[in-house]
A and B are shown apart, each in its own frame.
Chain A
Amino acid sequence: DQQVKQNSPSLSVQEGRISILNCDYTNSMFDYFLWYKKYPAEGPTFLISISSIKDKNEDGRFTVFLNKSAKHLSLHIVPSQPGDSAVYFCAAKGLMNYGGSQGNLIFGKGTKLSVKP
C-alpha cells in the first residue's frame, strides 16, 4: 500500500514557465516532508522541505505548499530552466517508532520533469 503517491509519472514544461509537481499521502501522522531531485545513476539531491506546522516554504525558485486537510503537497518551480530536467521525488519522514527512530523516508515513485528550451 503506497503511503506517498506521485500520480504523474512525467511532466513537460516550457522554459520560463511554472512547473508544478504534486504529491499525495495517506497517513495524517506524517509530520515532515521533503523534495529531492535525482539524475539517473546518481543519489537524490535535497531541494526543499516542509514541516507539518507550516503550509508554505520558499527557497529561491522553489516553493513547497502543504495542504494537511487534503493530505497533499506540491512543489512549484518558477521560472523553470532546462537544468531542472530530472526526476523529482516527494518523501515523508517515517513515523517515530519505539526508540525514537526517524530515519526511514517513505518515497513516492517520482515525476520526471522535462523543461524544454
Chain B
Amino acid sequence: KAGVTQTPRYLIKTRGQQVTLSCSPISGHRSVSWYQQTPGQGLQFLFEYFSETQRNKGNFPGRFSGRQFSNSRSEMNVSTLELGDSALYLCASWDRGETQYFGPGTRLLVL
C-alpha cells in the first residue's frame, strides 16, 4: 500500500497570505489528523477528521481550519499567515487501530 502523501512538500509564503495543504491518507484509512512541528513547541495536534467530520481540535487560533472529503483526502488552510506559522505540517492517517501513520510533511516558510 502507498503511504500517506502530502503536497506540496515545500512552500514559501509572505505574511498575510493564506495557504492550503493537502493530505492523501493510506488507502482504506478514514481518519486523518494534522500536526504542527516547530523547534520551540515540538509536535502539536491541530485537528482530527473522520468521515468528513471534525471530531477534535487542538489549541490553535481560528485562522487554522481544515476539511475532509468523501474519499478521505484532507486539506488544511491557514489564513492571514504570521511569521510564527513557519513550521513542518504533518498529516497522519489510521483506520480502526491505534497507530497513526505519518506523511513526509509540508515545510512552510513564512517571510
Please give the residue numbers on chain A whose beta carbons come within 8 Å of chain B beta carbons, in ascending order.
32, 34, 36, 41-46, 49, 51, 89, 91, 93-94, 97, 99-110
What distance in Å separates the Cβ of A57 from its nearest Cβ neighbour in chain B? Answer: 12
User: Is there an interface contact between B55 and A105, defined as CB atoms closer than 8 Å?
Assistant: no
Bound CA span A42–B43, Å: 13
The CA-CA distance from A13 to B102 in the complex, in Å, is 27
Closest 10 CB pairs of A and B: A103-B48, A43-B102, A101-B56, A107-B43, A101-B55, A104-B45, A103-B33, A109-B42, A44-B102, A43-B104
Complex Cα distance A39/B97, Å?
24
> In the complex the two chains form, is B99's CB within 8 Å of A94's CB?
no
Instruction: Please judge, given known A-B contacts A34-B99, A45-B102, whether A105 and B107 are in contact too, CB under 8 Å.
Output: no
Give the total number of A-B pairs whose CB atoms are below 8 A apart.
71
Q: Does B8 contact A (CB under 8 A)?
A: no
Bound CA–CA A32/B97 (angstroms): 11
Across-interface contacts of B55 in A (CB, < 8 A):
99-101, 103
Name the A residues within 8 Å of B49 (CB-CB): 103
Q: Which residues of B contact A (CB under 8 A)?
A: 4, 6, 31, 33, 35, 42-45, 48-50, 55-56, 58, 88, 90, 92, 94, 98-105, 107
If over half of B's interface residues share one DSSP class (helix, strand or loop), that class is named, otherwise mixed; here it is strand
**Least CB distance, A64 to chain B, in whole angstroms:** 13
For B90, list chain A residues within 8 Å (CB): 43-44
Q: Are B99 and A43 in contact (CB under 8 A)?
A: no
Interface pair B56/A94, CB less than 8 Å apart: yes
Q: Do the beta carbons of B56 and A41 come within 8 Å of each other?
A: no
Out of A49, A99, A110, name the residue touching B99 (CB < 8 Å): A49
- Is the pair B104, A42 in contact by a Cβ cutoff of 8 Å? yes
> A16 to B99, alpha carbons, bound, how many Å?
29
Give the CA-CA distance A12 to B100 in the complex, in Å: 28
User: B41's closest neighbor in chain A, by CB?
Assistant: A109
Q: How far is the CA of A46 from the CA of B26 in the complex (A)?
A: 14
